A and B are shown apart, each in its own frame.
Chain A
Amino acid sequence: MPIHEQSLIRPENLKTHDKLVLDGVDVSGHWSTFIEPRVVTDYNEALQEEIAALPGGEHIHRCWQCGSCTNSCTVNAVNPDFNPRFWIYLIRMGMESELLRDKDIIWQCVSCNKCTYACPRDVFPEGVMKATAHWLELQGHTPKSKSTLFDEEFTEQVMATGKIEEGRIIRGFFAKTGQALMQDWLVEMAKRLARRLPIKLGFLMGWATIFRPRTRGWSRAGEAIEEYVHEQQAKQRKALSLE
């Protein structure tokens, strides 16, 4: 008999044993290959709550699986495996292991927000994708993405001084992502900049690099913002039972 839904048989579910005897019957070798069942044996209601606790995921429970998000998706047009509709369903039913199979492509969302404007129920699928990528990082399923690391460096500087200094951000970002500071394009850019930069501006840049100026009266504002951010992070970690 031909196997009609062959695509549903996953390689990792094919089990062959070199030496196995069950109830006295020898089931060793290729001729006794087993296929592990795909039966869903329980729902995990916590998964939807966890995603909903992260920014962007708040409205995931509204989804009625029409597929408007996937149909309008920029990334899906290039990679058919990128399917927001399907991931939203897996999250809502708590099929975590199924979701994790796609952990390395979920972050690919380009935030074009076409889905946001196509969704008839205001699920904000783009936000859900962001929340899901964030969830994968918090749970340790994926390493922090470069954009997350950039955001962190940026935020740290703002917290400390109330302003950013581009040279410092690039240095910090390169350090966090393990990239060499002396990159050809950067050296070239610095050389050309030095050739044409007015002396006063060059002096200010050097001064800012050494003395790290702060926004006047920043400390109290910075503390308040930092407290709020920590509160939010603690709330998210608690929702994900990471405390």
Chain B
Amino acid sequence: MNSKPILVVGGGPAGLAAAHALASVGQRSIVVEKENRLGGAPILSGYAKLVPSGEWARDAIGGMVSRVEGNPLVEVRKGCRIEEFSGGPGDFTARLSDGSTVEAGAAILCTGFTHFDSVNKPEWGFGTFPDVVTTTQVEQMISTGKGIRCPSDGRKPQRVAILLCVGSRDRQIGREWCSKICCTVSCNIAMEIREELPDCHVYIYYMDIRTYGLNETYYWRSQEEFKVKYIKARIAEVTSDGQKLIVKGEDTLVKRPITIPFDMVVHAIGMDPNVDNKTLAPIFGVGLQEHGHIAKGSAYGALGETSRAGVFVAGAATGPETIDDSIAQGKAAAMAAFALVNQKTAVAA
């Protein structure tokens, strides 16, 4: 095959899956990653055990990284961004931030998402009280082996509150989407806390529990085996009495206000569109959808299409997405891009 390589933008689960899929059919690709390390959010943010496999992120995603990094058909460019992108299907040229230029037959945007920054919901105490943390921080407490501890003084918490929908489903901060994974991740984290600290009580404050599909198992197990408690309330504010965090809200099932002391409050943070999307979109000439994610072309016709021919998209770049679905989309986009650059045998989309 003499076609030009396919440019894969982003080295997370979707990008790694796309590059590996392309290599497995003998297609060359170039993976451009802005960080100095491949793996995307699961590796860069130090996730612990993944849902639903239960595998450690460093093993599962680490395996994907090594099979791409060691592959002769994949050229990896780390610590590098794309600054210009021009041409048409089969004949694109990209200029990178290190000054070099690469030619590509097609591009797949696997640019992922950005974790919601909890300081944008100041009423919930993140940034004000050290014992208010995010799900990402709890993942790191687990994956580093340090265990669940209150950041303020390192003590083991006796009561933990997990607040769902932080940075999701909230018109006040312009985030009207459900981030899809936080319910399941929170159920999983609650079980991990109960496993490490059996005397610690975990309460999850929810508006709806969206452990869709088979993820329902996480909801059930967390209640039935780990006795995690679920309270239907959207918390109004998190304050402190100087010793404990005070969580205020309304317990909607008993129609009573609650003012409950906690040792630790965890924000189940959502998935924002990648903060770089506003610069990426004009560079690649692709459209964004209403919330700022990269817009998909056809939903059913050709997988991974964007508004520009020859530029494809996969994974959380298109909206909140799970790791396994990102991997599937990466492979689907690889298939579409491969068909495009090898049009002699393929029927054009």
Q: Is A89 located at the chain interface by the 8 A CB criterion?
A: yes
| B230 x A40 contact (CB < 8 A) | no
| A39 x B223 contact (CB < 8 A) | no
Q: Which residues of B contact A40 (CB under 8 A)?
A: 251, 254, 256-260
Q: Which residues of A contact B231 (CB under 8 A)?
A: 93
Interface residues of A in 70-97 (CB under 8 A from B): 86, 89-90, 92-93, 95
Q: Which residues of B contact A93 (CB under 8 A)?
A: 229, 231, 251, 254
Q: Is A8 located at the chain interface by the 8 A CB criterion?
A: yes
| A61 x B257 contact (CB < 8 A) | no
Bound CA–CA A149/B211 (angstroms): 47
Q: Is A43 located at the chain interface by the 8 A CB criterion?
A: yes
> DSSP class of A's interface residues: helix, strand, loop or mixed?
loop
Q: Which residues of A contact B254 (CB under 8 A)?
A: 40, 86, 89-90, 93, 95, 98
Bound CA–CA A28/B224 (angstroms): 52
Q: Which residues of B contact A43 (CB under 8 A)?
A: 159, 201, 203, 260
Q: Is B78 located at the chain interface by the 8 A CB criterion?
A: no
Q: Which residues of B contact A90 (CB under 8 A)?
A: 254
| A65 x B255 contact (CB < 8 A) | no
| B223 x A38 contact (CB < 8 A) | no
Determine which of B159, B230, B255 lies in contact with A64 in the assembled complex, contact meaning CB atoms within 8 Å: B230
Bound CA–CA A167/B256 (angstroms): 53
Interface residues of B in 144-188 (CB under 8 A from A): 159
Task: Tell me, rounded to whole Å, the shortest Cβ–Cβ distance linking B183 to chain A.
Answer: 13
| A38 x B224 contact (CB < 8 A) | no
Determine which of A41, A45, A64 lies in contact with B259 in the assembled complex, contact meaning CB atoms within 8 Å: A41
Determine which of A41, A86, A92, A98 lies in contact with B229 in the assembled complex, contact meaning CB atoms within 8 Å: A92
Interface size class of A (residues with CB under 8 A): 20 to 34
> DSSP class of B's interface residues: helix, strand, loop or mixed?
strand
Q: Is A42 located at the chain interface by the 8 A CB criterion?
A: yes
Q: Is B261 located at the chain interface by the 8 A CB criterion?
A: yes
Q: Is B253 located at the chain interface by the 8 A CB criterion?
A: yes
Task: Tell me, rounded to whole Å, the shortest Cβ–Cβ distance linking A3 to chain B.
Answer: 14
Task: Tell me, rounded to whole Å, the shortest Cβ–Cβ distance linking B346 to chain A.
Answer: 50
Q: Is A243 located at the chain interface by the 8 A CB criterion?
A: no
Q: Which residues of B contact A184 (CB under 8 A)?
A: none
Q: Using CB atoms, name the residue of chain B closest to A5.
A: B255
Task: Tell me, rounded to whole Å, the shortest Cβ–Cβ distance linking B247 to chain A.
Answer: 11
Task: Tell me, rounded to whole Å, the shortest Cβ–Cβ distance linking B244 to chain A.
Answer: 10
Q: Which residues of A contact B259 (CB under 8 A)?
A: 39-41
Q: Which residues of A contact B258 (CB under 8 A)?
A: 39-41
Task: Tell me, rounded to whole Å, the shortest Cβ–Cβ distance linking B194 to chain A.
Answer: 12
Q: Using CB atoms, name the residue of chain A closest to B203.
A: A43
Bound CA–CA A182/B260 (angstroms): 58
Q: Is B4 located at the chain interface by the 8 A CB criterion?
A: no
Q: Which residues of A contact B261 (CB under 8 A)?
A: 42
Bound CA–CA A98/B232 (angstroms): 18
Q: Which residues of B contact A92 (CB under 8 A)?
A: 229
Q: Is B81 located at the chain interface by the 8 A CB criterion?
A: no
Q: Using CB atoms, name the residue of chain A closest to B232.
A: A65
| B201 x A89 contact (CB < 8 A) | no
Q: Which residues of B contact A95 (CB under 8 A)?
A: 254
Q: Is B227 located at the chain interface by the 8 A CB criterion?
A: yes
Bound CA–CA A69/B223 (angstroms): 18
Q: Using CB atoms, name the residue of chain B closest to A40.
A: B258
| B224 x A8 contact (CB < 8 A) | no
Q: Using CB atoms, name the residue of chain A closest to B248.
A: A39
Q: Using CB atoms, name the residue of chain A closest to B262.
A: A43
Q: Using CB atoms, name the residue of chain B closest to A43.
A: B260
Q: Is A62 located at the chain interface by the 8 A CB criterion?
A: yes
Interface residues of B in 203-251 (CB under 8 A from A): 203, 220, 223-224, 227, 229-232, 251
Q: Using CB atoms, name the residue of chain B closest to A45.
A: B201
Bound CA–CA A141/B203 (angstroms): 29
Q: Using CB atoms, name the residue of chain A closest to B246.
A: A41
Bound CA–CA A120/B15 (angstroms): 42
Bound CA–CA A89/B253 (angstroms): 8
| B224 x A62 contact (CB < 8 A) | yes
| B223 x A62 contact (CB < 8 A) | yes
Bound CA–CA A64/B216 (angstroms): 13
Interface residues of A in 38-58 (CB under 8 A from B): 38-43, 45
Bound CA–CA A39/B201 (angstroms): 21
Q: Which residues of B contact A41 (CB under 8 A)?
A: 258-260
Smallest CB-CB A-B distances: 5 pairs = A40-B258, A39-B257, A61-B227, A38-B256, A62-B224
Chain A: residues with CB nearer than 8 A to chain B?
5, 8, 37-43, 45, 61-62, 64-65, 86, 89-90, 92-93, 95, 98, 121
Can you report 20 residue pairs joining A to B where beta carbons are below 8 Å apart?
A37-B257, A39-B259, A40-B254, A40-B256, A40-B257, A40-B259, A41-B259, A41-B260, A42-B261, A43-B159, A43-B201, A43-B203, A43-B260, A62-B224, A65-B232, A65-B253, A92-B229, A93-B229, A93-B231, A93-B251
Given A40-B251, A121-B220, 10 other A-B residues pairs in contact with their CB atoms under 8 A: A39-B256, A39-B258, A43-B260, A61-B224, A61-B227, A64-B223, A64-B230, A65-B253, A90-B254, A92-B229
